[in-house]
Amino acid sequence: MNKHIYAADISGFEKQYRTNLINGLGGIKSAILVGTQGKNGENNLAIFSQIVHIGANPALMGIIHRPVSVEKHTYENIVSNEYFTLNHIPVEKYKEAHQSSARYERNQSEFAECGFEPEFTAQVKAPYVKDSMLKIGLKLVEIIPIKSNDTVLIIGSVEEIIIAEEILEEAGYIDLSKVKTSLVHGLETYYQAEKIGRLPYAKPINK
Amino acid sequence: MNKHIYAADISGFEKQYRTNLINGLGGIKSAILVGTQGKNGENNLAIFSQIVHIGANPALMGIIHRPVSVEKHTYENIVSNEYFTLNHIPVEKYKEAHQSSARYERNQSEFAECGFEPEFTAQVKAPYVKDSMLKIGLKLVEIIPIKSNDTVLIIGSVEEIIIAEEILEEAGYIDLSKVKTSLVHGLETYYQAEKIGRLPYAKPINK
């Protein structure tokens, strides 16, 4: 049996119920640790799931970010420092990654607090997560305000990819099934993924 | 061993290699069928994975959409008709859902061509996918152009949720592990999800 829920029901729900329900509508997504650096060199880490592919050429990715939220340091750091990293999370580390969503102070680094080791390269002025099997270093291109509710879409250009050789296939495909990555649904339920198949480019079938 | 790939490498890659690689960077996401209706009542269906949660109150969701792409009908229909539906895909139907990415003509309905039954309600002027266990009906609120590469972010307000009762928990959580949903990585590799745990709201730990 299906339940129908309408806009008026949603606005009438108790806050926590509404948060749980609406955050779950978009489904399951890779959980990503976003690494940034503050003005005084503090290394910040925060977990995000609203990461989007924007384009392949030029290579661009985006993050949906709420300006007033637990991840405020991330936003401020990207604005001031212009670099950020995206780090896929091995399944063994999903609890540590979730812990990065706690409200730490500016002078506390989530790397040390949650048990991750930072890693740096010459190209990107932001910390990577050493243990991640797929890391992307981005440079800020555009911050787009979303008028409807004051969230922002942060767009960055891909400056560097650090990828475990075992998951990079010949044709450029990334096989995330070889090293289990963490997925998240809503703000708190974690999943792992099992590959079911790769399909060819679809063409209309003449019936 | 890790491989480092730089911006100059990416722009020099052969097109298909670059597409495969860059589309895979954002990770695995729920595959969603977007249902729309054309000016002449044609029921359109197209598979998307770049769906984002924008906010819970008001309840808003977004889709990243390329204006010139196989899914052009979806964009035109949302602009003219102002409604669209998001439909999570049971794992048993992932091949049919992928087929919706083929370039069908305006007068061909992907519902009939790919084997899905449309479903309508009084609240939403766009077709739902009957077999989906989680369907969201949205009304267009805002279309935000992304200057960097001419993609757009389409924002809609949640007008209706149609959810299988078995997956809606008491506190508002949606349990997508009870009915396996389709996930996709890049444009062609499908996954299913296995739940590993729900974690409490994170707070700083005093060491």
Task: Find the CATH number of the domain harbouring A86.
Answer: 2.30.110.10
Q: Is residue B8 part of a domain?
A: no
Name the residue in chain A with its Cα closest to that of B176.
Answer: A27
**What's CA B34's distance to the chain center, in Å?**
6
Give the total number of structural domains in chain A: 1
Exposed e or buried b for every residue in A9-32, given b needs 16+ CB within 10 A?
ebeebeeeebbbbbbbbbbbbbbb
Name the more confident of B28 and B103. Answer: B28
Q: Is residue A116 part of a domain?
A: yes
DSSP A65-103: E-SSSTTHHHHHHHHHH-EEEEEE-BGGGHHHHHHTTS-
pLDDT tens series, chain A, 207 aa? 999 999 999 999 999 999 999 999 999 999 999 999 999 999 999 999 999 999 999 999 999 998 655 558 899 999 999 999 999 999 999 999 999 999 888 888 999 999 999 999 999 999 999 999 999 999 999 999 999 898 999 999 999 999 999 999 999 999 999 999 999 999 999 999 999 999 999 999 865
Question: What is the ipTM score, two decimals?
Answer: 0.95
Q: Is residue A47 part of a domain?
A: yes
CB A146, CB B153: distance < 8 Å: yes
Q: Is residue B20 part of a domain?
A: no
CA distances from A11 to A2, A14, A22, A65, B36 (A): 20, 8, 11, 22, 25
Q: Is residue B137 part of a domain?
A: yes
Q: Which of A27, A57, A165 sits opposite B1 (nearest CB)?
A: A165
pLDDT (0 to 100) of residue A72? 81
Structure tokens at A172: 């450029």
Q: Is residue A196 part of a domain?
A: no
**Interchain pair A159, B59: CB under 8 A:** no
Q: Report the distance separating Cα A190 and Cα B94, nearest Å.
A: 22
**Which residue segment(s) compose the domain that B81 sits in?**
27-191
pLDDT digits (tens, 9 = 90+) for B116-146: 999 999 999 999 999 999 999 999 999 999 9
Phi (first) and psi of residue B24, to 5 degrees: -90, -10
Count CB-CB contacts under 10 A for residue A165.
9
Q: Is residue A16 part of a domain?
A: no
Residues of B in contact with A202 (CB under 8 A): 98-102
Q: Is residue A204 part of a domain?
A: no
Strands B134-146 and B128-129: unpaired
